[in-house]
C-alpha cells in the first residue's frame, strides 16, 4: 500500500521527518518496503512563462517559443502543443532532465532546423495524470524560475506492507491512528460531514442476501458535474498508485484509500427499478469495468436491478452502469459484505482488486453512515448537486467483543514491563474502551482481536518491539547433543556425494498438476488437496521424477545441452484405506549430452541406462546399502522403457531403487525430448547395517579395525551360458565363502573364436582376507573348490 507523507500529515499532526516516520512504522509492525521521493523524478523541471509564440518556419503544427525561466535571458523552445501561447505559465524541462513517463533524457537539439533548449511538458509526460492534449497550464501567480517539485510540494511516498490481520490499516487514516498511539503526533478528528437531504431517495434499495450482504446503504445525488478532480486529490491518488479518471470515480477511490472503505457510484440513468443485493442466477453474466465478461453462479453476490447484474458485489463494478463524463445523477452505494463470501467469489473468478482485498480482510462495519456522508459531501463540494435521504437496507454486525484483560499478562507474555496507565492509554488511543475493572471493548473494525494475548500484542508493538530485551536461552554445561536425526544426516551425506559426482541439486514443488501426478501414481489413490494453492498444484507428488522432468524442460528450452539433476525430498503416498504416508526419496535425472562432440570423440554421446545404474549403485553405496548383494530385476514401472530399465532389490520384494530410460510416452506427457535417464532411490527401504549401535537416537558405525594380515588375490575364468548375467555370477562367487571372501569383481568378459558357441568367458578377481592366521594351501584349495561349485550351479565351468 502506498501513500504520500503529505496525505498522512493531513490526518496526523506531527513534526516528524520522513526517516522518523519510517522508523516508527517499522517499530509498530507496519513494514516499510520502500520510500520514493517524487522530487528526484522532477529534478530539472521548472516553472516557466511563455513570452512569445511564433509559427515554426518549416512546420505547420509547431511553434517557436521564447520562454522565461527566471534567468537573465529567455530560452528558445520548439513546442507542438495546441494550447501553447504567449503569457501562459507552464512546466519546462531543461536539458539534462529525464522525462518520468518514458525515461527520455532531454538535450539541446534542432527540430526542423530550429534550435530547442528543452521541452514544455504535459500532465502525462510528468506522470501526474492522463491528460496529454496540451502542455500544463499553471496559475498566473505561479513563481517563474521555481523548481516545479518545490512549487508542487512533491512529498515522499511510503510503500508499506499491511499484514492480512490488519484491514484497519488499509486506509491512510488507520495508519495515522497507529502512529498517533505510538506517540508520533496527534490524530486529527475526521471532519463532520453534514449532508442536507433535499428529497426522498427515488430508488428502492434492499438486500435479498442477508448472509453475504447484511447491510446495503445508499442515496441519490442529482445535478452533479463530472469533471476532473482537484489537484490535491489527484496528487494523493497518484502517490497511492491510482490513475485519476474523473471526479466521481476519483472520489470513491479517495474514500477507499483514505479510510479503507470501498464504495461505488452508479449512473442513475442506466438503472431500472429497485437496486438489490442478491445471489447471482446460474450462468448470469456481467461485463465488468476491466472490459471482461464474467459468468456467475449462485454462490456469488451481485448488485442488480430489473435489467440484470451491474456489480460483482465487493469486487468490481459493471461497465453498463459506470459513471460517464456526461453523468448528472448518481446512486451512491456503500455496503458491508461477508469476508468469506467475497474471498470465494474472487478466487472463482480470478479477480484481485483493491476493493476485494479490503472486503476479504474485513472492513469496519461501523463506518457505513459516516462513509456515505463523507462520500456525499466530497461529491457536493467538487461536483455540486443535491442529495437525497439515506436509505438503509439491513444492518451490519454491531456486537462489540468484550475481553477481560489482566494487565500483568503483558510482562508475562510480552517480556516487557509497561505501566498500567500506559497500557490503558495505548489501548484507548487505538479506540479500545477500557473499564475500571479492565473489561476491554474492542472496536468493530478490529476483527483480529480474539483474546487477551492479542491485547498484549497491541500494547507491546505500540510501546515498541525494540524495547523487548534480548535474552539468551539457558544452556546446560558441556557439549550439546546433536540435533540432526539419522535421516537428516543421511540426506546431507547423499547431497554431498551427488554434488561430488557432478550432479546439480534441484528443489521442486511438492505439488503437481493432477494429470502429471496420475502418470506416476502406479495404481495407488492420488493424494489430492482440498484447498490447493492453484489448480496446477492440486496433487501431492507420488514421485520426484515429474518435478525434475519439468526442471529439465525449462533448462533445455533455454539452451542447456547436458542436464545432470538430483533432488532429495519426499514423495507422498495414500493407501486405499485413506491413510497417508511420506517417504524420503532421492531422484536423479540425466538428459542431453553425456560427452559433447569434439575432435577426439567425434559425435556427442548421450546417457544410457548403464549411466543411470551407475549413479544408483554409487549413491546407494554412499547411503550404506549392501550394493554387493543387490539383485537387478525388471519391472521399474510403466513410466520407464521396459527394455532399458530395472530395479535394484534386496530379495524379490524389497525394492531399493529403480533406474533406466524413461518411456517415450512419459516424455511426451511432459513435452521433453529424449532420451532421458532417471533414478529413484527409496531411502526408507535401505536397511540398517548389522553391527551399528544406537547413539543419541541414531546409529553409529563400529570402530574401524584394519586387518592385521595381508589379503590374497585369486583370479577365476569361467565359461558361462550367454544368458547368465555377470552380476548373478558375482553374487554366487561372493556367497561361496562369506567368512573369507571380502570382494569380487569382473575384470574381463570375452566371446569369440576360442569360446564355444552360446557361451562367454567371464574373468573374476576374488579378494580373500585371512583373519586368525595366514592361509595354508589346503585352505586356499577348499575356498577354490567352493567358488567353482557355486559357479557350477549357474552352468559355469572353470576354463582350463
Q: Using one digit for the tens of pLDDT, what is the confidence trace for 708-725?
A: 889 999 999 999 999 898
Q: What local confidence, expressed as pLDDT, does residue 149 receive?
A: 85
CA 512 – CA 543 distance, rounded (Å): 10
Pick from 294-303, 492-501, 630-639: least confident? 630-639
How far is C-alpha 301 from the chain's CA centre? 28
Which CATH number is associated with domain 712-798? 3.30.70.380
Strand 504-505 to 741-750 pairing: unpaired
Q: Where exactly does CATH 3.50.40.10 map onto the chain?
A: 197-394
Side-chain-facing half-sphere of 609: CA atoms under 13 Å: 17
Share of the chain above pLDDT 70, in %: 98
CA–CA separation, 599 and 127 (whole Å): 59
pLDDT of 570 reads 94
pLDDT of residue 697: 40
**655 with 681: CB under 8 angstroms?**
no
pLDDT of residue 530: 85
pLDDT above 80: residue 600 = no
Q: Do you know the residue count of the chain? A: 800
What is the CATH superfamily name and number for domain 197-394? Phenylalanyl-trna Synthetase, Chain B, domain 3 (3.50.40.10)
Whether residue 81 contacts residue 92, with contact meaning beta carbons closer than 8 Å, is answered with no
Strands 562-574 and 504-505: parallel
| pLDDT, position 539 | 92
3-state SS, residue 148:
helix
- How confident is the model over 214-253, as pLDDT tens digits? 999 999 999 999 998 998 998 899 889 888 899 999 999 9
All three cell numbers of 228: 476532473
Is there a contact between 391 and 218 (Cβ–Cβ < 8 Å)?
Answer: yes
Q: How far apart are CA 540 and CA 313, in angstroms?
A: 34
Residue 644, SS3? strand
State residue 791's pLDDT score.
93
| 574 contacts 527 by C-beta, under 8 angstroms | yes
Q: Which residue has the cell 535401505?
A: 686
Element (H, E) at 254: helix 247-259
Q: Residue with C-alpha cell 468490481?
A: 316
Q: Which set of grid coordinates corresponds to residue 389? A: 435521504
pLDDT at 103: 87
Strand spans (E) along 596-639 = 605-606, 631-633
Element containing residue 302 per DSSP (H, E): strand 301-305
Cell of 758: 552360446
Q: Where in the chain is the domain with CATH 2.40.50.140?
A: 40-151
Mean pLDDT of 339-366: 93
Higher-confidence residue of 690 and 104: namely 104
What is the reported pLDDT for 286?
Answer: 93
pLDDT class for 470, splitting at 50, 70, 90? confident
Overall fold of domain 2-37+156-187: Phenylalanyl-tRNA Synthetase; Chain B, domain 1 (3.30.56)
Which of the four pLDDT bands, split at 50, 70 and 90, describes residue 37?
confident
| Single pTM value for the model | 0.64
> Which amino acids are annotated as binding site, given as ranges?
448, 454, 457-458
Q: Which residue ranges make up the annotated binding site for Mg(2+)? A: 448, 454, 457-458
Average pLDDT over residues 194-206: 93
pLDDT tens for 45-82 read 999 999 999 999 999 889 999 999 998 899 999 999 99
- The CATH fold assigned to 40-151 is OB fold (Dihydrolipoamide Acetyltransferase, E2P) (2.40.50)
- List, in order, residues 6 or more apart from 785 with CB less than 8 Å away: none
Flag whether pLDDT at 694 surpasses 70: no
Residues 513 and 535 sit within 8 Å (Cβ to Cβ): yes
Q: Which residues contact 306 (CB under 8 A, 6 or more apart)?
A: 272, 273, 274
- CATH 3.30.56.10 placement within the chain: 2-37+156-187, 402-463
Q: How far apart are CA 255 and CA 364, in angstroms?
A: 13
Question: Whose CA is closest to 256, among 123, 400, 353?
Answer: 353
Single out the residue of 63, 34, 43, 33 nearest to residue 51, CA to CA.
63
- Residue among 83, 185, 198, 178 nearest 131 (CA): 83
Residues 158, 37: Cα–Cα separation, whole Å: 9
What's the whole-number mean pLDDT along residues 112-140?
88
Which CATH number describes the domain made up of 486-693?
A: 3.30.930.10
Distance CA 721, CA 736 (A): 20
Mean pLDDT, rounded, for 737-753? 89
Residue 691 predicted with pLDDT over 80: no
What is the DSSP-derived secondary structure letter of residue 251?
H
What are the Cα distances from residue 257, in Å, to 7, 61, 187, 188, 190? 10, 42, 17, 17, 15
Question: Within a 13 Å sphere around the CA of 368, how many CA atoms are in the beta-carbon half?
Answer: 24
Cα dihedral across residues 625, 629, 635, 636: positive or negative: positive
Residues 6+ apart with CB under 8 A from 615: 501, 503, 588, 590, 659, 679
Section 635-646 average pLDDT:
92
* pLDDT computed for residue 707 by the predictor: 83
pLDDT computed for residue 698 by the predictor: 44
Cα within 13 Å of Cα(212), Cβ side: 23
In this predicted structure, what is the pLDDT of residue 10?
94
Distances (CA, A) of 320 to 288, 308, 316: 8, 10, 12
Fold designation for 402-463:
Phenylalanyl-tRNA Synthetase; Chain B, domain 1 (3.30.56)
The tens digit of pLDDT for each residue in 482-529 reads: 788 888 999 999 999 999 999 999 999 999 999 999 999 887 888 988
The helix/strand/coil state of 165 is coil
Domain with CATH 3.30.70.380 in the chain: 712-798
Instruction: Give 3-state DSSP helix, strand, coil % of the chain, rounded to 5.
Output: 25, 30, 45
Q: What is the pLDDT of residues 538-586, one digit of tens each?
A: 999 999 999 999 999 999 999 899 999 999 999 999 877 778 889 999 9
- Which class for 235: exposed (0-12), middle (13-18), buried (19 or more C-beta within 10 A)? buried
pLDDT of 695 above 60: no
Q: How confident is the model at residue 131 (pLDDT cuts 50, 70, 90)?
A: confident
List the single range of 85-89, 149-153, 364-368 with lowest mean pLDDT: 149-153
Q: For residue range 256-295, what is the model confidence (pLDDT) as tens digits?
A: 999 999 999 999 999 999 999 999 999 999 999 999 999 9
Instruction: Tell me which residue of 466, 405, 364 sits closest to 25, measured CA to CA.
Output: 466
pLDDT at position 696, please?
40
Q: From edge to edge, which strands make up the β-sheet containing 433-434?
A: 402-404, 439-441, 433-434
Q: Is the pLDDT of residue 467 over 90?
A: no
106 neighbors 61 (Cβ within 8 angstroms): no
Q: Mean pLDDT in the chain?
A: 91
- Rounded CA-CA distance 703/651 in Å is 29
Amino acid at each position: 500500500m502506498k501513500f504520500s507523507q503529505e496525505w498522512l500529515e493531513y490526518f496526523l499532526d506531527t513534526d516528524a521527518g520522513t526517516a522518523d516516520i519510517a522508523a516508527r512504522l517499522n517499530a509498530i509492525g507496519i513494514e516499510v518496503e520502500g520510500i520514493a521521493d517524487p522530487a528526484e523524478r522532477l529534478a530539472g523541471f521548472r516553472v516557466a512563462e511563455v513570452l512569445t509564440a511564433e509559427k515554426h518556419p518549416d512546420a505547420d503544427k509547431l511553434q517557436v517559443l521564447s520562454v522565461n525561466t527566471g534567468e537573465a535571458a529567455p530560452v528558445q523552445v520548439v513546442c507542438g502543443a495546441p494550447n501553447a501561447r504567449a503569457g501562459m505559465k507552464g512546466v519546462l524541462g531543461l536539458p539534462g532532465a529525464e522525462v518520468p513517463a518514458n525515461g527520455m533524457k532531454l538535450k539541446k537539439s534542432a527540430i526542423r532546423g530550429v534550435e530547442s533548449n528543452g521541452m514544455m511538458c504535459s500532465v502525462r509526460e510528468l506522470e501526474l495524470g492522463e491528460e496529454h492534449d496540451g502542455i500544463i497550464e499553471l496559475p498566473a501567480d505561479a513563481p517563474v524560475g521555481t523548481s516545479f517539485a518545490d512549487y508542487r510540494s512533491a512529498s515522499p511516498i511510503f510503500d508499506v506492507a499491511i499484514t492480512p490481520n490488519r484491514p484497519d490499516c488499509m486506509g491512510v487514516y488507520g495508519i495515522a491512528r497507529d502512529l498517533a498511539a505510538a506517540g508520533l503526533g496527534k490524530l486529527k478528528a475526521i471532519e463532520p460531514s453534514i449532508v442536507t437531504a433535499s428529497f426522498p431517495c427515488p430508488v428502492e434499495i434492499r438486500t435479498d442476501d442477508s448472509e453475504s450482504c447484511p447491510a446495503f446503504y445508499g442515496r441519490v445525488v442529482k445535478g452533479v458535474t463530472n469533471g476532473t478532480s482537484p489537484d490535491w486529490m489527484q496528487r494523493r491518488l497518484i502517490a497511492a498508485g491510482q490513475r485519476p479518471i474523473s471526479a466521481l470515480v476519483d472520489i470513491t477511490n479517495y474514500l477507499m484509500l483514505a479510510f479503507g472503505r470501498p464504495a461505488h457510484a452508479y449512473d442513475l440513468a442506466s438503472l431500472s427499478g429497485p437496486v438489490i443485493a442478491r445471489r447471482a442466477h446460474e450462468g448470469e453474466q456481467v461485463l465488468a469495468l476491466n472490459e471482461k465478461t464474467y459468468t456467475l453462479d449462485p454462490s456469488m453476490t451481485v448488485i442488480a436491478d430489473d435489467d440484470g447484474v451491474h456489480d460483482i458485489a465487493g469486487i468490481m463494478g459493471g461497465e453498463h452502469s459506470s459513471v460517464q463524463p456526461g453523468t448528472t445523477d448518481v446512486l451512491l452505494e456503500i455496503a458491508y459484505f461477508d469476508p468469506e463470501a467475497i474471498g470465494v467469489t474472487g478466487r472463482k473468478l480470478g479477480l484481485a482488486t483493491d476493493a476485494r482485498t479490503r472486503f476479504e480482510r474485513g472492513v469496519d462495519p461501523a463506518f457505513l453512515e459516516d462513509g456515505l456522508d463523507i462520500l456525499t459531501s466530497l461529491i457536493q463540494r467538487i461536483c455540486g448537486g443535491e442529495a437525497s435521504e439515506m436509505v438503509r437496507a439491513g444492518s451490519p454486525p454491531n456486537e462489540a467483543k468484550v475481553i477481560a484483560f489482566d494487565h500483568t499478562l503483558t510482562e508475562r507474555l510480552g517480556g516487557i514491563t509497561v505501566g498500567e496507565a500506559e497500557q490503558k492509554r495505548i489501548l484507548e488511543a487505538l479506540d479500545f474502551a477500557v473499564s475500571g475493572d479492565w473489561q476491554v471493548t474492542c472496536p468493530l473494525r478490529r476483527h483480529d482481536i480474539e483474546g487477551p494475548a492479542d491485547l498484549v500484542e497491541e500494547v507491546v508493538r505500540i510501546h515498541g518491539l525494540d524495547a523487548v530485551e534480548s535474552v539468551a536461552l539457558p544452556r546446560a554445561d558441556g557439549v550439546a547433543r546433536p540435533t540432526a536425526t539419522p535421516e537428516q544426516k543421511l540426506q546431507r551425506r547423499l547431497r554431498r556425494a551427488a554434488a561430488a559426482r557432478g550432479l546439480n541439486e534441484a528443489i521442486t514443488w511438492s505439488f503437481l498438476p493432477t494429470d502429471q501426478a496420475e502418470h506416476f501414481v502406479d495404481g495407488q489413490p492420488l493424494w489430492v488437496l482440498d484447498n490447493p494453492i492453484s489448480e496446477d498444484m492440486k496433487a501431492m507428488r507420488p514421485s520426484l521424477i515429474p518435478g525434475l522432468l519439468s526442471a529439465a524442460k525449462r533448462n533445455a528450452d533455454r539452451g542447456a545441452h547436458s542436464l545432470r539433476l538430483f533432488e532429495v525430498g519426499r514423495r507422498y503416498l495414500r493407501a486405499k484405506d485413506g491413510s497417508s504416508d511420506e517417504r524420503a526419496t532421492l531422484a536423479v535425472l540425466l538428459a542431453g549430452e553425456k560427452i559433447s562432440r569434439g575432435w577426439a570423440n567425434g559425435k556427442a554421446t548421450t546417457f544410457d541406462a548403464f549411466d543411470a545404474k551407475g549413479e544408483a549403485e554409487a549413491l546407494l553405496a554412499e547411503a550404506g546399502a549392501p550394493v554387493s548383494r543387490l539383485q537387478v530385476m525388471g519391472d521399474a514401472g510403466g513410466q520407464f522403457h521396459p527394455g532399458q530399465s530395472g530395479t535394484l532389490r534386496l530379495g524379490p520384494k524389497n525394492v531399493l531403487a529403480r533406474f533406466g530410460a524413461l518411456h517415450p510416452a512419459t516424455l511426451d506427457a511432459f513435452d521433453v525430448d529424449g532420451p532421458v535417464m532417471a533414478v529413484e532411490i527409496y531411502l526408507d527401504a535401505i536397511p540398517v547395517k548389522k553391527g551399528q549401535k544406537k547413539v543419541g537416537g541414531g546409529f553409529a558405525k563400529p570402530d574401524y579395525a584394519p586387518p592385521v594380515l595381508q589379503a590374497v588375490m585369486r583370479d577365476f575364468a569361467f565359461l558361462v551360458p550367454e544368458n547368465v548375467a555377470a552380476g548373478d555370477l558375482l553374487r554366487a562367487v561372493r556367497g561361496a565363502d562369506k567368512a573369507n571372501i571380502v570382494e569380487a569383481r569382473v575384470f574381463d568378459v570375452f566371446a569369440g573364436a576360442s569360446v564355444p558357441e552360446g557361451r562367454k568367458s567371464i574373468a573374476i578377481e576374488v579378494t580373500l582376507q585371512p583373519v586368525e592366521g595366514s592361509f595354508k594351501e589346503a585352505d586356499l584349495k577348499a575356498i577354490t573348490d567352493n567358488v567353482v561349485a557355486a559357479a557350477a550351479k549357474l552352468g559355469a565351468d572353470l576354463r582350463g
